[in-house]
Structure 1
Amino acid sequence: MHLEQQDRAVRIIGIELRTDNHEAMRTIPPHWQRFTEEGVLARIPGKLSDEVYAVYTHFENAGVNNEGVYSLIIGAPVSSTQAVPPGMSHAVLPAAPRAVFPVPQGRFDQVVPTWQAVWLRDDLPKAYVADCERYRADGQIDLLIGLRHGASA
């Protein structure tokens, strides 16, 4: 893990799923399948890159915890002025310090175990506003955990 300071907000446009931790293992895989099968990445206008972000946000208990219902928006970074196409949604990763956890060997099958390890940690001042998985073109996968303001990067 390392810390990075995100100096400006990042806006993501993509497709949204409302779910919770009890239903996630059942609802999230079909959401990824939809993202792939419908060619969502290619349909996002004004992409700033081909990186894919899976953003967990709009928490029922925002700022407190990740219990209850939340949104998973899978998409790509866009400018702050890009219009949201019909059938899509958007999320904002606020400017804030983030704990970055690389997923071992960039393996998709290691994403869930990496999340499980992160949520066992009680030493991070988690913000519970917007956390994400970032899938880079080079195959690297990182989990980015938003930290409360005042946490140092």
Structure 2
Amino acid sequence: MTWRVYLSGEIHTDWRERIVEGARAAGLDVAFSAPVTHHEASDDCGVAILGREPDKFWHDQKGARLNAIRTRTLIGDADVVVVRFGDKYKQWNAAFDAGYAAALGKPLIILHPAEHQHALKEIDAAASAVAETPEQVVALLRYVIDGALEGYTGRQAAE
């Protein structure tokens, strides 16, 4: 079975590439999908296709509604949804994606630095797992997909 993993969240770091490369190196049978990560294209897709808007609200609405087609479809088709909250910018869209995935009953892996634990406690509580690094996400996927714990020798975690 090919697992479908949707990678949602911040677009300013290489976290997606690290997960994809790590999954490939681990030999995992995974197909990854994501929102459009080219910031300007995502913002301007609606007006680029449907025509200019003099009001910024409607400019944004055209883009958001068009992007929602992709996002809702890919989250709906996903076996697992990974949502990354980064240090830079507030990722309101990531929070929405996490809530949407949770409402659909999708297994949810949240990825964020330790300093965001308090701010994201409700989102973390809805998750199946919370990771701090892309490499931890790869290890989670390896375990879920293949049942493999790299380097695990027994009861070491309890000690």
Q: Which has the higher strand share?
A: 1
Larger Rg: 2
Could you say which structure has the greater relative contact order, defined with CA pairs below 8 angstroms and 6 or more residues apart? 1
The TM-score with structure 2 as length reference comes to 0.23
The TM-score with structure 1 as length reference comes to 0.23
Q: Which has the higher helix share?
A: 2
